[in-house]
Amino acid sequence: MENLFAVVLAGGKGKRTHLSYSKVLLPLCGKIMTAWVVDAILSLNPTQIVVVASPENNTKIKEIFQNKASIVIQEKPLGTGHAVQCALKEIDAEKGTLLVACGDTPLLDDEIFQALFKLHEDKKGAATILTTKLSNPTGYGRIVRNKNGLVAKIVEEKDASPRILKIQEINTGTYCFNLKKLKDVLPSLTPSNSQNEYYLTDCIANLMKKKEKVFALELANPQLGLGVNTLKEYAEARKILNNRIKEKWLSQGVIFLDPDTVSLDYDISIGSETVVYPFTILEKGTNIGSRCEIGPFSRISETYIGSETVVQNSVLTSCEIGNNCRIGPFAYLRPGTKIEDHVKVGDFVEIKNSTIDSKSKVPHLSYIGDATIGKGVNIGAGTITCNYDGKEKHHTIIEDGAFIGSNTNLRASVRIGKNAVTGAGSVVINNVEPNSVVAGVPAKEIKKREVV
């Protein structure tokens, strides 16, 4: 929208969370809290968006939003009015609509911002406020209306009289302003309040003094205007966002056996007829195919999983898993793991930075690190690729059809030839020729293998 500019206030520390970092950096279903607000506004295609950060969270805010928004630092916490003054130094335009939102209201979506903008444009007022009504409005600024029902002023709770405290309509902290008219009244703000801060809400009263009209859009669902000020409110917001994500996948044929115990990030993908068991966590761009069984008690992040694969009681991070695989229970697949189709990785197996080709098996109690395993390989229980020499990591290669006996140690970088066999308890320190059988410590060839 060519005439829409936006400011997101993300400088608050959030003392009531008792965290050592800013509350707006709290993770919510795959992105920080403020990113939900920024991304919702970006979907409206604003001409410009400015995020106001504090000196404490500036580095992280810049890292996340550097390609999405201009970043302004509010050096001292002098209030919302001062934050907007800082932001407007980055906006050269004199005309248009300025959308102001708080970085701690992650439940506001693009439809709500669109509705607020439309009402503001249709009414052609000086300002339009997003409000809602709460049965217990403690902690929020109250909306005071005049006899005609228009907004007269907003009174912060700490400055409110007992009569005003009885008002249930509250300010969500989200506004649309006529940019020119806001710029006219911003310089007149004074810190004449109990907090000694410059309140953006005072602009409403100043606009009224100029006989300007101020409108309000009331949210029917008060939950959506939830500002996250405590960790209890954070937990509530996270639950709502998580449920939104689950509803999306439920509508596309994904089966959750106990939805309340499943945690999903926003940027995952799940194929139809996949069953997600209780206490499963799917994070960070995970992509799961159709007709899979995932969980229970599994955590999967940044991982691709093909169709008809089972992952049970396991942890997978930055992996690629093929079709018709069986993973777990209690497997740990670390970054760089690539598993082709029809592979079994069993209980208490750890794999890192390794490729396992189709129809191979690592059934149980093994560590495979920095290795390439061919097709149709069987890895016996207790096998270890000894990949680290104390200074560097080395690569192990096991070719197609090899059979690795239980409790075999493979000192990298060795190559086990095609169809070779190692005896149980062997320590392999040299390459093994194809079709040969080795055993012992160190392992030595004892015969050739006949392969049918």
Residues marked as catalytic: 364
- Secondary structure of 376-389 as H, E, C letters: CCEECCCCEEECEC
CA–CA distances in Å: residue 446 to residues 6, 378, 432, 437: 76, 20, 11, 6
Question: What are phi and psi for residue 115, nearest 5 degrees?
Answer: -65, -40
Q: Which residue has the tokens 């990949």?
A: 387
State the Cα–Cα distance between residues 334 and 317, nearest whole angstrom: 5
**Paired tokens of 88:** 């407007």
Do residues 385 and 370 touch, judged by C-beta distance below 8 A?
Answer: yes
**E runs forming strands in 205-274:** 214-219, 255-256, 263-264, 269-270
Spatial CB neighbours of 452, under 8 Å, sequence gap ≥ 6 = none
CA–CA distances in Å: residue 284 to residues 31, 245, 265, 266, 423: 9, 13, 6, 8, 42
If we measure between CA atoms, which residue out of 51, 67, 60, 65 comes closest to residue 104? 51
How many other C-beta atoms lie within 10 A of the C-beta of residue 89?
10
